[in-house]
Structure 1
Amino acid sequence: MSMNKLFNEKLNIINIGTETFKHDLDKQGVSAVQVDWRPAAGGNTDVLRALSAIEKDPRIDKANDEAVKRMKDSRPVLVDMDQAKNVISGMHEKLILHAGPPVSWEAMCGPMQGAVIGALLFEGLADNEDAARRLAASGEIEFAPCHHYQSVGPMAGVLSPSMAVHVVEDQEHGNRAFCSINEGLGKVLRFGAFGEEVLTRLAWLKETFMPVMQRALRAGDGIDIKQITAQALHMGDEGHNRNKAATSLFLREMLPSLLTHQVQDDDTKAVIDFINTNDHYFLNLSMPASKVALDAAHGIEHSTIVTAMTRNGVDFGIRVSGMGENQWFTAPANKVQGLLFPGYTEEDAALDIGDSTIAETMGIGGFTMAGAPAIVQFVGGTVEDALQYSQQMYHITGGENSNYSIPTLNFRGSPIGIDIRSVVETNILPIINTGMAHKDAGVGQVGAGLVEPPERCFYQAVTTFAEEVHV
C-alpha cells in the first residue's frame, strides 16, 4: 500500500503508553484507543535483569507445578477447638502473636496496639490500659507473627495463650493451622477495641463456646472445610469478605453433633445463635484452611509461587515457596480504597492490615469476586469490575483450581498459585478485598474496600530469588 493511499483512508489508531498523544487526537476528532502499557517491572533495569535470569528455567516451572498441585490436593478439616497454649507449639504465657510480618510494639499501628492491650487485659497480665501499654513496651512480652506459629488472624490478628482457637488439619499432608474465633462485627478485638464488652465476649468464647464446640467436634470425624468452601462459591460467597453461605453450611454440618452430644441446653442454644447471627464466622475457618494448603506448598526448591501475603498495618509482606520459611519481602502497606461507614472519612482509616490475605494467596477472596457480585455492595465497585478482577488474576497465577470453580466464568477453576515472575512481567498485582480498621486503638471497623500489595515486595522477591536461589 502506498503512503498516499494510507493517509487517504480512515485511520484506526492505537495509542500505547502516555495518554498525551491520545488527548491531541481527541481534540482533532480522530478516533483512537488508549492502551495502558508499562514495561515489565516498571522499567527497573535491575529487576528486569533478575527476571530475565529466571524467566525460562524449566526447574522453576516444574517446582511451581508441584506447589500448585499440593495446594489443590490439600484437604483441610476442622478437627478440634482448644486454647492456643494447648495446641500451638512454642506458645508461652508471655507470647503475643499478631498479623503480618514482624513488627515491634513501638512501630505497631493503632488498632494492633489496641488489640495487644486487650489481649494483655484478657490474660490478666495488666489490669488497665496504662499498665498494659507499659508492659507491652517493657520488653517482657514477646511479639511474633501468627505465620511463624502455623497460625493466622484477621485484621490485627492478635492471639494470646488463653484464647480459643480452631484447629484445622490438612488430612492430605498432615500439617495443622490455627485461628481465633470470629467475634462478629462492631467493637471487637481484631479491629483494636479492648473495652469491657470485648473482654466479656472473649471470656465467653473460651469458657462456654469452646467447650460446647469441642465436645461436638471430638465426637465426630471433623468438618470438611474444603467441601463447604467449594459449595459456598457456587452460592455467592468469595471466601474472604462474603461468608454468608459458608457460615450457614458450616452450621448445618455442626448441628447434628451439637444437638446430640451436649448436656447444657442453654449453652448449646447460645452457641448456635452466635454462629447463626455472625455472617463472618466462616472467615476464621477459611483462613486456616488456606494456611494449611499454602504451608504444604512451601519449601519446594526453585519454586517462585507465593505461599503467604499478609500485612500488619505498617508493612505488607510476601513469602515465596522456594525461599526461607520466615523470609519476608516487605514494603509499606497501602491505603484501602472502598466504602466507609457513615460518619467516617478516609483520614480515619488505618493502612492495610491482617492475615486474611491468605485467602487471595489461595486463589479465593478477591480472586473469585466474579462469582460473588453482591460483594461490591460491601467493598465498592461494580459487577463488571468484579468479573474483570477475577479474569486478570489468571495472568499472574500458575494454574486453575477445579475444586473451587466460578459459575459466572462458566465454572472455570479459580486462579491459583501467584507467580512472582508473572506479577513482575505483567505489572498486574493481586487484588484483595478487605475490611478497614480505624487508625486509632479502641474504635473498631470503619469500612471495607479493595487494595493491592506494593509492587516493591515482588521486585525484591524476584531480585533475591535470582541472586540466592537461582544457581
Structure 2
Amino acid sequence: MSDPTRATLDALNGTDVHLRHVCRARDATDRVGPRHFLHAGPPIALADIPGPMRGGIIAGLLLEKEAGSVAEAEAIIDHGEVSISPCHDAGAVGAMAGIVTPNTPVVVAETAGGLRTFSPLNEGIGGAMRYGSYDEGTLARLRWLGDVLAPALDEAVEHSDPIDLVALVAEGLRRGDDCHNRLVATTATLLVTLTPGLLRSRLDREDLAEVVAFVAGNGHFALPFAISAAKAVTLAASGVEGSPVVTAMAGNGREFGIRVSGLGDRWFTVAAPVGDPVLVEGATLDDVTPTMGDSMIAETAGFGALAMTAAPAIMSFVGGDMALAQEITRRMRTLCAGTSRRLLIPAEDFLGTPLGIDVHRVRALGVEPVINNGLAHREPGRGRVGAGITSIPIEPFVAASEALTEETERRR
C-alpha cells in the first residue's frame, strides 16, 4: 500500500467527530444568504436543476419569506434571481435535493482538529423539502423544526456529555442499521443519548413530548448526524497528495460526481444513473429523478452500501435479499483500499467494513461501485417515489485514476 493511501486510510480510521450544535444554517456558515442557497451534488446551473431541486428552492423561498406564493417563487427562479452552489463547497452535505437556506435547521459536527460540517435536520420520509415538496404541511414542519426542535436539541447537546458521532454510527451497525437508508436503531440510540439533556432543558412538558414523539417516529432522524460525521471524516482525509481514495460521491439529478483525496475539490462526473429501485405504490420508472443527494458520503466513509450485511432489514426497503447484500459488501471490499477499525459488522465476525474506495482499483477491475439511495419524483412537489440499490458507472473513477496518474508522473 502506498504511503498516500495509508495516510488517507489513517485519517478515515482515526478522525474523531463530535456533535457540536443544532442551529439554523445562517449560524453555521456564511455560504447561505438572501436568495443564495446550497444544493446537493456537483455544481449545476439554475436553468438545469431537476424537479425536486426546483421544488426545494420554492420551499426555501417561501420559508425565507422571499416569496409570498408558489407562483412568485417560481417567477424568482425563472428570472434567475436565485444563486445556488454545492453543499460540499461549504463543508456540508444535504440529502436528496439538499437545499439549504439561511433558516434551514442543521446539525453541526466538529473534528478534534476543528473541521466543522453540517447537514439539514431530517424531516421524515413523507412530504419534505429535500424531496421537492413545498405544501403548507412541509413548510409548517420546517418552521417547527427551526423554532422548537433545533433549539431544544441544541440545549440538550449543551447539557450532555460529548456525543461521539462515529461511535453513534458504529453502534448503529452493531444494532442492525447500515446508517444510510436504515437508521432505526441509530435514531433510538441518539434519542436515548439526548433524553437526559432534553429533560434538563427549558422545554415545557408539551413541547418536550412533541420533540420526543417526532424523533421517535422518524426512523431516518439520525441520518444528518451520521452523514455530518462522514463529511468531517472525509474532509480530514482530503488533500493527500497522490492518494486515490474517494472522498465524496454525490448527485444533482443530472450528473453524478466524485472527488478524490489526491485531486482536491475537482469533480469527475457522469450522467446520473437511476439504479434498480423499489417504488412506492403507483409510481413507475418514468417518475424517478436520477440519483440525487450528498448522503452517499456514507459510502465514502465506510458505511451505507458498504455495510449492507450489517442491516438485513434494509433489503425490504431498497430491494433484494441477504445474498445480494453479501455480494455487494464483497464487491466493495475488492474496490476499497482498506478496512475500518471502528465500523464493525457482527454478521461477519466483527470484521470492519470496507473503507476507502480506490479509483485505481475500480479502473483496474472494471467493477462498478454500489450505493443505496432514496428517490424523488421528477416533478416539483410530488415528493418521494422510492429507494434502491444503484451501481455507479465506472467512467468518473477511471477519469480520476488517469488524472491522478498523470499528476503523479508530472511530479516525478
CA-CA distance at 1:377 after TM superposition: 0.5
Counterpart residue type for residue 100 of structure 1: G
1:278-314 deviations in whole A, cap 9, x for unaligned? Answer: 0000111111100000000001111111100000110
Q: Which amino acid aligns with 2:205?
A: D
Root mean square deviation, CA, Å: 1.2
2:86 is the alignment partner of 1:178: no
Q: Give the conservation status (yes or no) of the 8 Å contact 2:96–2:131.
A: yes
TM-score normalized with structure 2 length: 0.97
- Please identify the structure whose Cα radius of gyration is greater: 1
Select the residue among 249, 257, 264 that pairs with 1:324.
264
Aligned to 1:334: 273
What code does the residue aligned with 2:312 have? P
Answering whether residue 13 of structure 2 is matched by residue 69 of structure 1, we say no
Give me the identity figure in percent.
Answer: 36
Alignment partner, residue 70 of structure 2: 129
Contact 2:362-2:398 at 8 Å conserved across structures: no
Once the two structures are TM-superposed, the CA of residue 140 in structure 1 deviates from its matched residue by 3.0
Distance 2:248 2:86 in 1: 12
Deviation digits for residues 76-134 of structure 1 (CA, Å, limit 9, x no counterpart): 21111111111113332221100000011211111111111111111111112222122
Whole-angstrom CA distance in 2 between matches of 1:303 and 1:263: 48
In the alignment, the residues of structure 2 paired with residue 470 and residue 97 of structure 1 have an alpha-carbon distance, to the nearest angstrom, of 36
1:109-148 equivalence runs, <5 A? 109-148=50-89
Shift of 1:345: 1.1
Most deviating of 193-202 and 445-454: 445-454
Structure 2: distance between partners of 1:224 and 1:467 = 39
1:67 to partner: Cα distance? 0.5
Secondary structure of residue in 2 paired with 1:415 = strand
Cross-structure match for 2:342: 403
| SS of alignment partner, residue 322 of structure 1 | helix
TM-score, scaled relative to structure 1:
0.85
- In structure 2, the partner of 1:294 is 234
Which amino acid in 2 is paired with 1:79?
A: R
5+ residue gaps, structure 1, are: 1-57
- Structure 1 residue 74: deviation in Å? 1.4
Deviation at 1:470, TM superposition (A): 3.4
| Residue pairs, 1:387-426, within 5 angstroms | 387-426=326-365
Q: 1:402: how far off?
A: 1.9
Tell me which amino acid in the other structure corresponds to 1:438. Answer: H
- Work out whether 1:242 is the aligned partner of 2:182: yes
From 266, 272, 275, the counterpart of 2:206: 266
The answer as to whether partners of 2:46 and 2:80 remain within 8 angstroms in 1 is: no
Q: Secondary structure at the match of 2:37?
A: strand
State the match for 1:363 in structure 2.
302
5+ residue gaps, structure 2, are: none
- Runs of 4+ residues over 3 Å off in structure 1: none
Q: What's the counterpart of residue 227 of structure 1?
A: 167
CA contact (8 A) 1:94 1:141 kept: yes
1:379 to 302, 318, 321: 318
Tell me the number of residue pairs that the alignment of Structure 1 and Structure 2 aligns: 410
Give secondary structure in 2 for the equivalent of 1:331: strand
Residues in 2 aligned to 1:95 and 1:119: alpha-carbon distance in whole angstroms: 10
Does the aligned pair in 2 maintain the 1:97–1:160 contact within 8 Å? yes
Match of residue 206, structure 1, among 130, 146, 156? 146
Structure 1 contact 335–451 (Cα < 8 Å) conserved: yes
Q: Shift in Å at residue 469 of structure 1?
A: 4.1
- Name 1:162's counterpart in structure 2: 103
